Chains A and B, each alone.
Chain A
Amino acid sequence: MEEIIRFDNVGLRYGTDREVLSDLSCSLFAGRFYFLTGASGAGKTSLLRLLYLAQRPSRGALRMFGTDMMTLPRADLPAFRRRIGVVFQDFRLIDRLSTFDNVALPLRIAGVKEHELAGPVADMLEWVGLGGRAGARPATLSGGEQQRTAIARAVIGRPDVLIADEPTGNVDPEMSLRLLGLFQALNRLGTTVIMATHDVQLLRQVPDSLIMRLEKGRLLDPTGALRYPPREPVTKPEQRRDWRRAPVGGGA
């Protein structure tokens, strides 16, 4: 099992405020599906920002893909960011670009030629059910369509890690399940998925998923599955089912 992300005593504070993340230590493994849960304000978005390299920890150590992210020169960050797909909580589509151009943006950034990206982008739009909306501006799309555009943009570059911040936050339950299906399909193709959510229903939908629970900026790991080295093999199915039965609303 390949370790892809490693936190060691990570702390994060914005400015001079108190720490919003404290004493984070855990290991994430390639190809797994992780749910990040916790109450609003617990620090989910902050933790994900560390992972998509929008922010460096204030203390501790963070390694990704075997590289130290604390000391990585600024100029080397873009190459790592291209290996990470992000679905923002607020989508962050670019208003003056069409759906097609929004989804094509990561490929253009990566230097893919125009004639080489038209096919894959069209396929991707088809895959998220937006084949007919390629020319539409984000403002003319429904919330669910915007969300799927954001997902298409996050995965078009075949990232090693997909990070999604409450991607089912503003869609109906049926759409939630469809979106989750997309993430699972990607996960089966080998992408490590880290998805923040406070939708308890979703946790039950993904067998073999692992749960990272944040409470007031601290990571709870009742089963030890996130520890490194793991206390026990995390691939044992019964054990994983146990964690999902662990209470997610209250304390551990």
Chain B
Amino acid sequence: MTRLEALRPWLGGDVPILPAGRIGGPLPWLIALMVLLVTVGLAGALVLAGLTRAASAQVAGSVLVQIVEADPAGRAAQTDAAAAFLRTSPAVAAVRVVPQAELEALLEPWLGEGLLAADIVPVPALLDVQTTGTIDARTLRQLADGLRAVAPAARLDAQADWLAPLMGAVAALRYLAASVALLLAFVGLAAVWLSTRFALASNAQTVKIVHALGGDDGQIASVFQRAILPDAIAGSLLGAGLGAAALWLLGDRFAALDAGLLAGGGLGAGDWLILALVPVGAATAAALTARVTVLATLRKSL
């Protein structure tokens, strides 16, 4: 109870000593723009994060071994040898030799039935290897060396390996989007700071009077906080509305990612919750920034 009471002035909930005037000016529009851009930037970062997460989960524990050998008999022998070797390795959880029929079904649309049936195009044998946990480069090299000894035609690919540059790029994009959102939030708060400074300067006489009558900085700060709050709420709501519209329009693009190579595109329920917090956070941060600005400025007076 007492702790909540102490919070009340910070939320602008104390009894007003003066009716809060309107700050006016471009502040609501500025806040709307900031909330819109932060929402879109943050949504982008969240989509990319979801994408990376889903893709890594899919490829993390998976290694693909190909036996590229034209002679069917040699291919079968090396496949068996490779499978046997892999099963002895502690880094390997499971080995599945992909059945020839499955491979041919995969390739048929590309190569045509006749070509495969005639064995004109040799299809490599595939071993789908699940590792125990995420595999590191050294273990991967040891596996490759061991494989070459028993099956010279074996080629080993960690899927995470060939996805790594892509993942790196995606992560960089994600941090870029998050940084831009953060910078925009900072610019928005700077705008609130400037507006508050301006409002304080143009009401300097009133502030002096309130001080002389025994008013404290907190009471004065609350007046300015209340003045900013309607502007901040209106701007935040407008920005959130525009942001939602923009995301809805972009939604098709994100959905397309979902259907493509990598699953996990699009925004989850948790992501929408985070995005819904943007306007709430913006309005709260604006009011608190106004308060802190007033308190910091008044501290220099007597």
Question: A interface vs B, CB < 8 Å?
Answer: 52-56, 74-75, 77-82, 86, 88, 92, 94, 96-97, 105-106, 108-111, 153, 157
B209 touches A94 (CB 8 A): yes
Closest approach, in angstroms, between the C-beta of B107 and any C-beta of chain A?
80
Chain A residues with Cβ below 8 Å from B58 are none
Note all chain B residues with C-beta closer than 8 A to A77.
302
Counting chain B CB atoms within 10 Å of each CB, which of A79, A88, A109 scores highest?
Answer: A109
| Contact among A74, A106, A153 with B302 in the assembled complex (CB-CB below 8 Å) | A74
* Between-chain CB contacts (< 8 Å), 10 pairs: A54-B211, A74-B302, A78-B211, A78-B216, A92-B208, A96-B19, A97-B19, A105-B209, A106-B213, A108-B18
Contact, CB under 8 Å: B214 / A106: yes
Asked if A81 meets B210 with Cβ closer than 8 Å, knowing A55-B302, A111-B15, the reply is no
B253 to chain A: closest CB distance in Å?
A: 51
Q: Contacts A78-B215, A78-B216, A97-B18: A105 and B210 contacting too (C-beta < 8 A)?
A: yes
Bound form: Cα–Cα A97–B205 in Å = 14
Q: A109-B17, A109-B219 are in contact. Are A92 and B209 (CB under 8 A)?
A: yes
Is B206 located at the chain interface by the 8 A CB criterion?
A: yes
Inter-subunit contact A74/B299 (CB<8 Å): yes
Contacts A105-B210, A109-B219 hold; do A54 and B15 have CB atoms under 8 A apart?
A: no
Contact of A81 with B18 in the complex, beta carbons under 8 Å: no
Q: Which B residues touch A78, using CB under 8 A? A: 211, 214-216
Q: Which bucket holds chain B's interface residue count?
A: 20 to 34
Among A74, A97, A110, which residue has its beta carbon within 8 angstroms of that of B214?
A110
User: B268 interface residue, CB < 8 Å from A?
Assistant: no
Chain A residues, CB < 8 A from B209:
92, 94, 105
Contacts of B212 in A (CB 8 A): 52, 54, 81, 86, 88, 92
State whether A82 and B214 are in contact (beta carbons under 8 Å apart), knowing that A96-B21, A97-B18 are contacts in the complex: yes
List residues of chain A with CB within 8 A of the CB of B215. Answer: 78, 109
Instruction: Report A80 CB to chain B, min CB distance, Å.
Output: 8
- Residues from chain A with Cβ under 8 Å of B213 in the complex: 81-82, 86, 105-106, 109, 153, 157
Determine how close the nearest CB of chain B comes to the CB of A196; give it in whole angstroms.
Answer: 16
CA distance A94 to B19 in the complex (A): 12
A110–B216 alpha-carbon span in the complex (Å): 10
Given contacts A92-B212, A109-B17, 6 further A-B contacts (CB under 8 A): A52-B212, A54-B212, A74-B299, A75-B216, A92-B208, A110-B214
Residue of B nearest to A56 (CB): B302
What is the CA–CA distance of A75 and B19 in the complex, to the nearest angstrom? 24
Residues of A within 8 A of B219 (CB): 109
Taking a contact as CB atoms under 8 Å apart, the answer to whether B17 and A81 are in contact is: no
In Å, the complex CA distance between A79 and B282 comes to 35
- B206 nearest CB across to chain A (Å): 5
